[in-house]
Amino acid sequence: MVEAAGDSDFDVALFVGYHARAGHPTGVIAHTYNPRAVLVEIGDRPATEAALNGLYLGALGVPVAMVTGDDALAAELDDWMPWAETVVVKHAISYQAADSVHPSLARDLIRDAARRSVERARGDGNTLQLLVLDPPLDLRIEFTTPSQADFVATIPGFDRIGDRSVTYSTDDAITLFRAFISAIRIAPAADD
């Protein structure tokens, strides 16, 4: 979703169609990149895809100005990116159910928020911030099966802990992001 950002020159990021983190009790289609990861934490804080992507972009100097999704995601982002405008286009009822706004209203809400966000990024009173965390950046991923954790633990830098989890630590957000993506991509190999 954001890997190409390192090869280009972006001033601001707008995340459209995001969702709550894996393990959220009511978030609609809540996951973090892959359904095999049932919980992802950075520094003991549950992390969403928006948080992971925002941390990567923060290391590249790109702030996140807007995120759209359900109300569960919006609540989670208050802790990660309180400066980002959140656009709630559905209210989470459960993993498989939501009370969505009408598509034409969602389109208008997103368009208007995107305009405001870009104007904010260009304006003199820009209050956007980069998502940057103090090192070390400690990642923990809990998988659905022990074998998925076993496979990921073969990646250099990952350590196997507990029944179904791995950890990884670095001082660099780009390295953390790439390690996370590697783990998420190799975990399904354990299912074969």
Residue with tokens 């001033």: 11
- pLDDT for position 187: 96
Mapped onto helix, strand or coil, the DSSP state of residue 72 is: helix
8-17, 47-56, 135-144, 150-159: which has the minimum mean pLDDT? 8-17
The conformation of residue 117, written as its DSSP 8-state character, comes to H
Q: Is 142 exposed, middle or buried (0-12, 13-18, 19+ CB in 10 A)?
A: buried
Split at pLDDT 50, 70, 90, the class of 65 is very high
Separation in Å, CA 135 to CA 79, 138, 171, 176: 18, 8, 5, 11
Nearest to 24 by CA among 53, 43, 50: 50
Asked whether the predicted pLDDT for residue 71 surpasses 90, the reply is yes
Using 50, 70 and 90 to split pLDDT, how confident is the model at 5? low
The first and second tokens of residue 162, run together, are 């507990």
Q: Does domain 10-191 have CATH number 3.30.1360.130?
A: yes
Q: Is the pLDDT of residue 7 over 70?
A: no
- With 0-12 / 13-18 / 19 or more C-beta atoms within 10 angstroms meaning exposed / middle / buried, residue 118 is middle
pLDDT at position 2 is 85
Laid out side by side, the sheet with 64-70 consists of 13-15, 64-70, 85-94, 97-100
Instruction: Please tell me whether the overall predicted TM-score, pTM, comes out greater than 0.85 for this model.
Output: yes
Domain range list for the chain? 10-191
Q: Supply the pLDDT for residue 127.
A: 83
* Alpha helices (H) in the chain, listed in sequence order: 49-59, 71-80, 103-122, 146-152, 173-186
| Phi, psi for 123 (deg, rounded to 5) | -75, 165
Asked whether the predicted pLDDT for residue 84 surpasses 80, the reply is yes
CA 92 to chain centre: 18
Residue 192 is predicted with a pLDDT of 76
The C-alpha atoms of residue 115 and residue 103 are separated, in whole angstroms, by: 18
Q: What is the pLDDT of residue 9?
A: 80
pLDDT at 28 over 80: yes
Closest CA to 11 of 158, 134, 117: 117
Q: Using 50, 70 and 90 to split pLDDT, how confident is the model at 93?
A: very high
Q: Is the pLDDT of residue 55 over 70?
A: yes
pLDDT in tens, 160-176: 999 999 999 999 999 99
